[in-house]
Structure 1
């Protein structure tokens, strides 16, 4: 594992995080929680979800499957709830939580053994015995962040015409 690989991973993460966060630039709290398409997704909810997702995968880098918990129903409920920006939340708080998690993840990317691997929890999409390296988990965080940045961009464009790119 080279310093260049770590640098590339960090640069890619930063780029997609920037695109995600850019979709929220200038939004009021009520706009950040507004559904602007047929989807239930909102800009604020997506940023909050990405923060939770990144936290769980960062936990996986250090603790393996334990980071996902042992109660699948509770995990699924928390997953669904992570997409919702509640009335008592502000976009500023959600962005601050995202930035703090990004810093923690970046520290791990700088130090973790990228070749270390851990078992994944048994789920319908991960059969028993499935293992991922830390490298693959980091790539998964990049992919999820990029995917949700695209979702947020569509939602923002439907809100007020603003686009992250193009």
Structure 2
């Protein structure tokens, strides 16, 4: 069956998935942003997922068949990681993963690089607004970045009771 025609399944990821999650991040990042410096080995990135993200975040994956094609790590009103393999982008997988985070949090912040035009357009389509831009001196890549913010709109309630006049 063609992977492109299969609906992704959202699954909770555990320790045994951290190598695959780190690999998705690495592949998506370096294919889409080849100008970024490669600062960590694959093993260091896996350790970051295993030792920092796994204990502190909800980590979900998007699987098509047995293949993990996207991943999100979020918690405490932040999206820490959201990546989809390049061959599976523009298929709604990122939107599906982002929707899971939006269901659980009333407000969300996240960082992305200013030059990451695709990610910026994606987040803006999903209701995020740029809140702050930096020169990048505080991130390890030394790349100008932008802080995005989203807040759930309050539920509108309609008073359907007839007025007594």
What's the TM-score, normalizing by structure 1?
0.29
Q: Choose between structure 1 and 2: higher strand proportion.
A: 2
Q: Choose between structure 1 and 2: higher helix proportion.
A: 1
Look at both structures and tell me which one has the larger radius of gyration over its CA atoms.
2
